[in-house]
Structure 1
Amino acid sequence: MRDQQAGAGPSERRLSTKEAAEVLGVKPETVYAYVSRGQLSSRRSPSGRGSTFAAEEVESLARRNRRESTANQTAGGELSVRTRITLIEEDRYYFRGVDAAELAARHSYEEIAEWLWTGRMRAGVTFTAPEASVAVARRAVDALPEHAGPTDRLRVAAIAAATADPLRFDLSEEAVLGTARTLIPTIVDALPPVLGARGDDGPLAHRLWTRLSGRQPDETSLRILDTALGLLADHDLAASTLAVRVAASARAHAYAAVSAGLGVIEGPLHGAASGLAHRMLLEVLDQGDAAPVVADELRAGRRVPGLGHRLYSGEDPRARVLFGLLEELPSAAPALAAARHVVETTARHAPLHANVDLALAVLTASSGMPSTAGETIFAVARTAGWIAHAMEEYGESPLRMRPSGLYVGPKPPQPLPGQPEQPGRGDPARLPETRT
């Protein structure tokens, strides 16, 4: 029964837990989950049994939930998810409302990660990993076969690090932040350094460089790598980020959510795209001409790697920043010229701009890195954004990322495979012929 507390005005209707659950369309235990998250307030019932809730507050929450549900429905078949992390519009993108390209130009990757996670700028922050966590991750990575790819190593390192963290199931904000600040340096430090390279100390970009190149980096090279990490830290709901949010919606811990992202990023249309551009640039440099290389890509029915982006009609702002910095690197001049030639050659037929994969390919190809290096940089960078999205999803209703399937298969009930049809199933059963 709806009740009114003694002394309460007529507008202060109270609902029982069962009634509140019916208005919200949830189970009674979910009503208390709303209370624990601060979305509802409760008051002990006069009888001392159970709680009551302000009807106006419950109905307001129900309306808000319906609006969010509508926002999450598809418009043209695309899932829409409310987020405060990244906005992409008019060929620019923003991290929590701040121009992301400017952030990357002025702040380190670690500082940008903190901004994504907390909305606060922690100047000079650096990430370090516990020795025990790194040791477990390194043993797991070292056990992989030599042909294991970079994402294989990062994924195994993340899973191994999870086993060393007994508190991984604590999804409170402070606990997840602690995980985030140690997981990223752990997966970097777990990667085997290139023979002759040194660097288990210092900023994350320096430690990552020693896992990608045997060359001694100069200050400019490290600044470009650090900026690339910052630029790639997040990019709204890319396929891998959506996978992370689905995992977080099911309340998978941060290590598992990151592992979900790493599983998706390996595709050639996502994190591995820069590797295709890297190999293309090497071929252009080898032939001294982009035209035959572009022609071969098109003849094979493939898109030219590193060109165009579905979210930017003009120039990819990430590519613009990286190309500007690469101009300062003398060793990048040949690869830069090759990239420009690819863009110019393709522009004769399609007005496509260079994207961040092509800029990343220039960096890796001119720094003595393998073609898979761009995938590693991309994955390490994006881990910051994945964790930001996981943290945001932990604050939402659990299991909300559950679309309904549109079944288009055979109409049931169908007979069991290999069994004769029974009367009442499928076509009308034939009666045996009788002779009279």
Structure 2
Amino acid sequence: MTDQAARISGPAAAEDARDAAEGPRLTTRETAELLGVKPETVYAYVSRGQLSSRRAPGGRGSTFDAAEVRALVRRTGRRESAAADGGLVFRTAITFIDRDQYFFRGVDAVELARHHGYEEVAEWIWTGEIRPGIRFTSSPESLAAARRAVDALPAHSGSTDRLRVALVAAAAADPLRFDLSPQGVLSSARGLIPTLVGALPTAGGPEATGDGDGDPTAIAARLWPKLTTRPADTASLTVLDTALALLADHDLAASTLAARVAASAHAHPYAVVSAGLGVLEGPLHGAASGLAHRMLAEVVERGSAAPVVADHLRTGRRVPGLGHRLYTGEDPRATALFALLTDVPQAAPVLAAARDVVATTARHTPLHANVDLALAVFSVACAMPPEAGETVFAVSRTAGWIAHALEEYAERPLRIRPTGQYEGPRPPQPLPSPPAA
């Protein structure tokens, strides 16, 4: 090395060594994103002495000590950035939706569900690790408490009613539910999901779980006899297991947002799932597959989609099972399930009915099938009740709610606190008087 090169590289090497000793440094943009502010505000923090900066190599911009920035975040509270439409944006590493595809931790979710069962997919979105063959086990105490509570419900209670009651009973039986450490939350989750399934009453008849090829300890095999009296076959169990895996998460759907709000208040995992279930019961979310089930059953009975679709349009009702605000084409979850349903012999007429619905509706408005229509094909073909799709959705999405709770527990508590825009009478107003007699 020449003397001139040594003079040039010497200070640079010393600066690199200093940076390595002090820890990683962030660019202005990265610092602004962490703080949830504009880059100009970052330099305002510098001028007020709240942050120290160093000129970036090459003299362009500044760099900031990552530990110092994180400390400022803790002091000021990280503010979430706003979306273009004014809505909140939550940073998450769980699900990414782009160009009619969706990904779990960067992996194509459809491909993941094709190669791994529900429990393995749940572990992936929770921990970023695949654990081949993992099975979830419920606590005997929690399962017994959940079953007693569910058995006490009226006979007309729906599956979501039973799941919510089972959830409360299981929580009461778990004295460690307030442990919000990652391992504590994961332990609760691995016991909660089989408890919810185990607390549901059987649909009737023997609890046969398949034709001998499936694993009776898998969640799908345990859930099957809760949904139908029809004996399971390998192809049908594959559809159910894949549906559970595909539905595990889908970004910030309404129920997931409710779950994150609960987690922001440091509610325990059972309460987080309860918040999600409360929203899921709405007809525009988890219950949508039941509407599609009833429609498809009528199409099969009448032999044509035309009169059924016409009835919906005439009464101003939207045709269920069609369209999704996040996809321009067919919902990838529906595409995957339709492909598997072709291997279920009894599904053929129902699949034809679904295709008839899509084609008939396309004459009026071009809408593609969504996952609710695929769940409806499955539930009608397998002699399940209309609410079966909602049950599958709730059991599956429990994994996603837990994944989002794990993320939210690591954030600043109670950060999800919108400000109301008051539009009532301008104060002060006089005290109200009782109506005249």
Quote how far apart the aligned CAs of 1:86 are.
Answer: 0.4
Quote how far apart the aligned CAs of 1:128 are.
Answer: 1.4
- TM-score scaled by structure 1? 0.81
Residue in 2 that maps onto 1:98: 107
* RMSD (Å), alpha carbons: 2.3
Instruction: Measure the CA separation in 2 of the matches of 1:387 and 1:56.
Output: 29
CA deviation vs aligned residue, 1:139-191 (integer Å, no higher than 9, x gap): 00011111111111111111100011001001001010000100000000000
Is 1:148–2:163 an aligned residue pair? Answer: no
Question: Is the partner of 1:94 in helix, strand or coil?
Answer: strand
CA deviation vs aligned residue, 1:85-133 (integer Å, no higher than 9, x gap): 0011100000000000101111000000000100000001011112221
Residue in 1 that maps onto 2:181: 172
Question: Is the partner of 1:147 in helix, strand or coil?
Answer: coil
CA deviation vs aligned residue, 1:206-238 (integer Å, no higher than 9, x gap): 110010010110111101100000000000000
Instruction: Measure the CA separation in 1 of the matches of 2:224 and 2:301.
Output: 25
Instruction: Measure the CA separation in 1 of the matches of 2:141 and 2:150.
Output: 14
Residue in 1 that maps onto 2:199: 190
Residue in 2 that maps onto 1:412: 427
Please say if residues 197 and 213 of structure 1, whose CA atoms lie closer than 8 Å, have aligned partners that are also in contact.
no
Please say if residues 334 and 371 of structure 2, whose CA atoms lie closer than 8 Å, have aligned partners that are also in contact.
yes
Letter in 2 for 1:232: L
CA deviation vs aligned residue, 1:222-262 (integer Å, no higher than 9, x gap): 01100000000000000000000000000000000000000
1:330-341 matches, within 5 Å, as: 330-341=345-356
Quote how far apart the aligned CAs of 1:299 are.
Answer: 1.2
Quote how far apart the aligned CAs of 1:64 are.
Answer: 9.1
* Aligned mate of 2:369, from 354, 364, 369: 354
1:17-416 matches, within 5 Å, as: 57-59=67-69, 61-62=71-72, 68-71=78-81, 73-199=82-208, 201-416=216-431
Instruction: Measure the CA separation in 1 of the matches of 2:75 and 2:383.
Output: 52
Please say if residues 197 and 215 of structure 1, whose CA atoms lie closer than 8 Å, have aligned partners that are also in contact.
no
- TM-score scaled by structure 2? 0.81
Quote how far apart the aligned CAs of 1:406 are.
Answer: 1.1
Residue in 1 that maps onto 2:45: none
Letter in 1 for 2:268: H
Letter in 2 for 1:345: T
Structure 1 residues 295 and 65: alpha-carbon distance in aligned structure 2, compared to 1, 3 A threshold: farther
Please say if residues 265 and 379 of structure 1, whose CA atoms lie closer than 8 Å, have aligned partners that are also in contact.
yes
Among all aligned residue pairs of Structure 1 and Structure 2, give the percentage whose two residues are the same amino acid: 65
Structure 1 residues 102 and 56: alpha-carbon distance in aligned structure 2, compared to 1, 3 A threshold: closer
Structure 1 residues 128 and 60: alpha-carbon distance in aligned structure 2, compared to 1, 3 A threshold: closer
Higher helix share: 2
Instruction: Measure the CA separation in 2 of the matches of 1:55 and 1:242.
Output: 32
Please say if residues 244 and 390 of structure 1, whose CA atoms lie closer than 8 Å, have aligned partners that are also in contact.
yes
Please say if residues 146 and 199 of structure 2, whose CA atoms lie closer than 8 Å, have aligned partners that are also in contact.
yes
Instruction: Measure the CA separation in 1 of the matches of 2:324 and 2:379.
Output: 20
Quote how far apart the aligned CAs of 1:60 are.
Answer: 5.5
Instruction: Measure the CA separation in 1 of the matches of 2:66 and 2:288.
Output: 52
Please say if residues 138 and 192 of structure 2, whose CA atoms lie closer than 8 Å, have aligned partners that are also in contact.
yes
Instruction: Measure the CA separation in 2 of the matches of 1:224 and 1:338.
Output: 18
Quote how far apart the aligned CAs of 1:62 are.
Answer: 2.9
Quote how far apart the aligned CAs of 1:56 are.
Answer: 8.4
Please say if residues 123 and 130 of structure 2, whose CA atoms lie closer than 8 Å, have aligned partners that are also in contact.
yes
Instruction: Measure the CA separation in 1 of the matches of 2:323 and 2:77.
Output: 34
Instruction: Measure the CA separation in 1 of the matches of 2:307 and 2:75.
Output: 56
Structure 1 residues 124 and 56: alpha-carbon distance in aligned structure 2, compared to 1, 3 A threshold: closer
Question: Is the partner of 1:165 in helix, strand or coil?
Answer: coil
Instruction: Measure the CA separation in 1 of the matches of 2:134 and 2:256.
Output: 25
Please say if residues 199 and 207 of structure 1, whose CA atoms lie closer than 8 Å, have aligned partners that are also in contact.
no
Question: Is the partner of 2:85 in helix, strand or coil?
Answer: coil
The alignment of Structure 1 onto Structure 2 pairs a total of residues equal to: 370
Name the stretch that deviates more: 99-108 or 405-414: 405-414
Question: Is the partner of 1:351 in helix, strand or coil?
Answer: coil
Instruction: Measure the CA separation in 1 of the matches of 2:314 and 2:282.
Output: 22
Quote how far apart the aligned CAs of 1:77 are.
Answer: 3.3
Question: Is the partner of 1:411 in helix, strand or coil?
Answer: coil
Instruction: Measure the CA separation in 2 of the matches of 1:336 and 1:74.
Output: 39
Please say if residues 78 and 412 of structure 2, whose CA atoms lie closer than 8 Å, have aligned partners that are also in contact.
no
Please say if residues 77 and 412 of structure 2, whose CA atoms lie closer than 8 Å, have aligned partners that are also in contact.
no
Structure 1 residues 359 and 55: alpha-carbon distance in aligned structure 2, compared to 1, 3 A threshold: closer
Structure 1 residues 289 and 297: alpha-carbon distance in aligned structure 2, compared to 1, 3 A threshold: same
Instruction: Measure the CA separation in 1 of the matches of 2:76 and 2:85.
Output: 19
Quote how far apart the aligned CAs of 1:197 are.
Answer: 3.1
Instruction: Measure the CA separation in 1 of the matches of 2:355 and 2:169.
Output: 42
Structure 1 residues 119 and 57: alpha-carbon distance in aligned structure 2, compared to 1, 3 A threshold: closer
Please say if residues 257 and 390 of structure 1, whose CA atoms lie closer than 8 Å, have aligned partners that are also in contact.
yes
Residue in 1 that maps onto 2:6: none
Quote how far apart the aligned CAs of 1:349 are.
Answer: 1.5
Structure 1 residues 65 and 90: alpha-carbon distance in aligned structure 2, compared to 1, 3 A threshold: farther
